[in-house]
A and B are shown apart, each in its own frame.
Chain A
């Protein structure tokens, strides 16, 4: 595969020869995607070139060049997701990691991030100013812009709210190369607020999935920050066991065992109603064994997990609640007492955890879940009410039994969930360790579970709009209409946002759906 010579020369003169390459080795290195060998990286190929723009102007020019020569392109920065992969010949990979601009307005509590700024960098800088931001489950290395635009999740969503609620003014290179400024930046070139005059076009960025590069390139985004407690969290340990020592009078973790999953859910509703807590989740036993084995190796996990056998009592449900005295030590004391009252009311047993955080603030690294098999496959990702999450969990336990052998033994664990926005919603996921040699069965499982969620009246986000659409008011057709308006040549990471690429053959990516 090679780009038209003129197109490549135009890119070279734009960003400089050292920031663009069509060398097969450079291009090969960005082929493929997450989860090791996975059903999702079907049909990925190398892009025809990789380009490293430094400014929004350069991104605009790259998109214009792509349009001039009818070349597909996709944006990427921290690179984890397989969605940031080429599937069509002559694709340009726009790697945004040189876009490192970061400005913090601590008085007005927002930060303006260019696409190459990572979540943990933002966290490090804003906590110096007594503020807080989300670091997502997939790790602090994730780009703030990309992760916020695709509903990155994290334990702190309980207090913070969904990422899309934190998108403020945004700078966005549309698929035709036009620059769009949203919110306050549209008139004032100031980034303090997300609303602007007229309809709110942030909706196109958001939806249930985000556009995932299918509607151009977001180059700059202001994100909301929230007040934090003022004391420093001190790092400790040596890799692989590193952690943050938390200030005990302002932050605490509690581990709670409830007699049933139902009681745990009811208690979590109550915790939300009382507006206490910073992070609230139900943790799967599986994760506890993963955490115990981290740094000891895959075999150590399987040795311990296989001993567990069917001895796990899944009626016991383990929840973890973190409290933060955002305003004062008194707030901490008050919340602790309220939490204890709620736990007692719902028959739980509570004990205070160590004043150490390994996996919630700066390093909520779901990545460590991968080491168990080298891949994992989360066929269910549900944003719904806590009740609905519970129903999905129960159904999934039964459904997965059919896939014995394809999935590693899970002893019937029901998945895990965390409360979002003070109990208004939950994020539910069950983690499958699948046999990567049997991609066909894994793909079938994914589809079957999605259909099951829909039957339950569930809200299975992060699924293919083209598959979900018929059950959801044909919203995929609206996505298609938007795509046709904004990206008439269908060049911006097709077939997104209407379809997820691994469900579409390369031959049909450029064709219009039903």
Chain B
């Protein structure tokens, strides 16, 4: 990404500060009215969408240098996109892309990423996964009846976390897919999706990974790729086409999150959920499945007089994120009751792990998660459910006093239990 491509966005900020607050029509309290974790935690405007636009402008105008503080700001942002959605309710500014371009700029100029990110990058490049484990162990979780590389129209892209750490998620996802009776396969040599690199501004370093995975998917012959990890899902659906400068719809495969796919299976009757789950839950929207998941549409144009873009610039505003499929899927489980948090769907508060923040700023990631847990607790729910292993992991790691005994699940676990 080139910061120069977002020069117009950088100057267009009007400092309305909406990037810090949830949609006003959805504001329900003084306590949960804000939406930007870094701004709430660190206070200074620099730690906000609007602040980073101003910083980007100053960098483009040669008024700022790369300092440790600049890196701190740029890499503490969880890239959750809440500021972007809020801004685009009223304005046509690419806030998040500008922040991402700032990260790219930092890397291009040799000042980033941060050391923990470099370590992960090295592991990914050496082993194909972010943990540095031998990649052949990636398939250790495989249950009987799933054959890697077998020809099938549906491919399950497992992701590093579910392959190596929270294998129960992969097992639950496989159980759901198997129960539907529709043949599916997994890649014999899946690599990390590349999100840890792409999200830290290391596009060039990610090139080989992106190319490997795309080729592997194409060789598999699958036309539909299913992800149970929201980060993998967004990377394959949005970041890959962005990297290749093409539309999502022009990719050679379609990407679905398992909540979308399982929802379709339930509706068609291919998947039957009969087991009761007498549980009151609240659903946490992962940023990558929600507001950040809209299809990618490249734009190469100019701004004319009165800032009118030529050609018209179609923007991703978070409107068409995957919000309802997970909720509908949960509702299809007998006995399960859903209650909403104040900040939900496009207005959701980030879990804190995104944007590679947890890799470099663990305490801040956990602080953000604790805020979410407090919000979840106030709904009266017994459990918080997400659809991303990174959210689940971070919320679990943060469970302390604020957790107050709250259970934390990935949605596939509840669905699989109900089969």
Q: Are B54 and A31 in contact (CB under 8 A)?
A: yes
Residues of A within 8 A of B249 (CB): none
Q: Are B26 and A141 in contact (CB under 8 A)?
A: no
Q: Are A239 and B33 in contact (CB under 8 A)?
A: no
Contact partner, A140, options B12, B27, B43, Cβ 8 Å: B27
In the complex, A374 Cα to B45 Cα: how many Å? Answer: 21
Q: Are A367 and B16 in contact (CB under 8 A)?
A: yes
Interface size in chain B (residues, C-beta < 8 A): 66
Residues of chain A in range 23-72 having any CB-CB distance to chain B below 8 Å = 23-26, 28-37, 50, 52
Any chain A CB within 8 A of the CB of B73?
yes
Residues of A within 8 A of B52 (CB): 29
Residues of B within 8 A of A242 (CB): 23, 25-26, 89
Which residue of B33, B91, B312 has the most chain A CB atoms within 10 A of its CB atom? B91
In the complex with contacts A36-B13, A435-B306, A240-B317 CB distance below 8 A? yes
Residues of B within 8 A of A121 (CB): 27, 29-30, 33
Residues of chain B in range 291-335 having any CB-CB distance to chain A below 8 Å = 291, 305-315, 317-319, 321, 323
Stretch at the interface among A223-231, A298-306, A318-326: A298-306
Residues of A within 8 A of B307 (CB): 298, 373-375, 436
Known contacts A141-B24, A239-B319; can you find 6 more A-B pairs with CB under 8 A?
A: A21-B69, A24-B67, A95-B45, A97-B43, A244-B25, A437-B305
Any chain A CB within 8 A of the CB of B276?
no
Interface flags for A430-465 (1: CB within 8 Å of B; 0: not) read 000101110000000000000000000000000000
In the complex with contacts A121-B30, A435-B305, A29-B323 CB distance below 8 A? no
Question: Which residue of chain B lies nearest to A113 when distances are taken between CB atoms in the complex?
Answer: B30
| Chain B residues close to A by CB (< 8 Å) | 8, 11-18, 20-21, 23-30, 33, 42-46, 48, 50-52, 54-55, 58, 63-65, 67, 69-70, 73, 85-86, 88-92, 291, 305-315, 317-319, 321, 323, 345-347
Q: Are B323 and A238 in contact (CB under 8 A)?
A: yes
Could you write out 28 A-B pairs with CB less than 8 Å apart?
A21-B44, A21-B69, A24-B67, A25-B69, A26-B44, A29-B46, A29-B50, A29-B52, A30-B51, A50-B44, A80-B15, A80-B17, A118-B21, A120-B21, A120-B33, A135-B24, A139-B17, A141-B21, A141-B24, A235-B23, A238-B319, A238-B321, A239-B23, A239-B346, A242-B26, A297-B313, A367-B14, A368-B90
Q: Are B24 and A140 in contact (CB under 8 A)?
A: yes
Residues of B within 8 A of A37 (CB): 11
Question: Which residue of chain A lies nearest to B20 when distances are taken between CB atoms in the complex?
Answer: A141
In the complex, A299 Cα to B63 Cα: how many Å? Answer: 32
In the complex with contacts A239-B85, A299-B312, A125-B44 CB distance below 8 A? no
In the complex, A311 Cα to B64 Cα: how many Å? Answer: 50
Question: Which residue of chain A lies nearest to B69 when distances are taken between CB atoms in the complex?
Answer: A23
Q: Are A368 and B89 in contact (CB under 8 A)?
A: yes
Contact partner, B16, options A95, A141, A235, A435, Cβ 8 Å: A141
Q: Are A368 and B91 in contact (CB under 8 A)?
A: yes
Residues of B within 8 A of A294 (CB): 89-90
Residues of A within 8 A of B88 (CB): 239-240, 295
* Closest 9 pairs (CB-CB, A-B): A299-B312, A29-B46, A29-B51, A140-B24, A368-B90, A374-B307, A240-B89, A367-B90, A363-B24
In the complex, A124 Cα to B24 Cα: how many Å? Answer: 9
Task: Please give the distance in Å from A329's CB to the nearest CB on chain B.
Answer: 24
In the complex with contacts A124-B30, A242-B23, A299-B313, A79-B15 CB distance below 8 A? yes
Residues of B within 8 A of A35 (CB): 14
Any chain B CB within 8 A of the CB of A138?
yes
Task: Please give the distance in Å from B229's CB to the nearest CB on chain A.
Answer: 23
Q: Are A29 and B45 in contact (CB under 8 A)?
A: yes
Interface flags for A362-376 (1: CB within 8 Å of B; 0: not) read 110101101111110
In the complex, A402 Cα to B321 Cα: how many Å? Answer: 47
Task: Please give the distance in Å from A297's CB to the nearest CB on chain B.
Answer: 6
Residues of A within 8 A of B313 (CB): 297-299
Contact partner, B29, options A23, A125, A241, A368, Cβ 8 Å: A125
Question: Which residue of chain A lies nearest to B307 when distances are taken between CB atoms in the complex?
Answer: A374
Question: Which residue of chain B lies nearest to A362 when distances are taken between CB atoms in the complex?
Answer: B24
Q: Are B308 and A302 in contact (CB under 8 A)?
A: yes
Q: Are B91 and A138 in contact (CB under 8 A)?
A: no
In the complex with contacts A97-B43, A239-B347, A370-B21 CB distance below 8 A? no
Residues of A within 8 A of B21 (CB): 118, 120, 140-141
Which residue of A80, A135, A239 has the most chain B CB atoms within 10 A of its CB atom? A239
In the complex with contacts A117-B30, A124-B27, A239-B318, A373-B69 CB distance below 8 A? no
Which residue of B16, B51, B58, B92 has the most chain A CB atoms within 10 A of its CB atom? B16
Contact partner, B25, options A362, A373, A435, A437, Cβ 8 Å: A362
Contact partner, A23, options B51, B67, B317, B345, Cβ 8 Å: B67
In the complex with contacts A95-B44, A239-B88, A299-B308, A25-B67 CB distance below 8 A? yes
Contact partner, B306, options A135, A240, A241, A433, Cβ 8 Å: A433
Task: Please give the distance in Å from B16's CB to the nearest CB on chain A.
Answer: 5
Any chain B CB within 8 A of the CB of A391?
no
Interface flags for A4-32 (1: CB within 8 Å of B; 0: not) read 00000000000000110101111011111
Task: Please give the distance in Å from B106's CB to the nearest CB on chain A.
Answer: 12
Contact partner, A235, options B12, B25, B48, B314, Cβ 8 Å: B25
Residues of B within 8 A of A358 (CB): 25
In the complex with contacts A19-B43, A50-B44, A239-B319, A408-B306 CB distance below 8 A? yes
In the complex, A428 Cα to B128 Cα: how many Å? Answer: 63
In the complex, A25 Cα to B396 Cα: how many Å? Answer: 34
Q: Are A238 and B11 in contact (CB under 8 A)?
A: no
Task: Please give the distance in Å from B349's CB to the nearest CB on chain A.
Answer: 15
In the complex, A79 Cα to B44 Cα: how many Å? Answer: 11
Question: Which residue of chain A lies nearest to B71 when distances are taken between CB atoms in the complex?
Answer: A25
Any chain B CB within 8 A of the CB of A98?
yes
In the complex, A140 Cα to B44 Cα: how many Å? Answer: 20
In the complex, A244 Cα to B73 Cα: how many Å? Answer: 35
In the complex, A397 Cα to B239 Cα: how many Å? Answer: 49
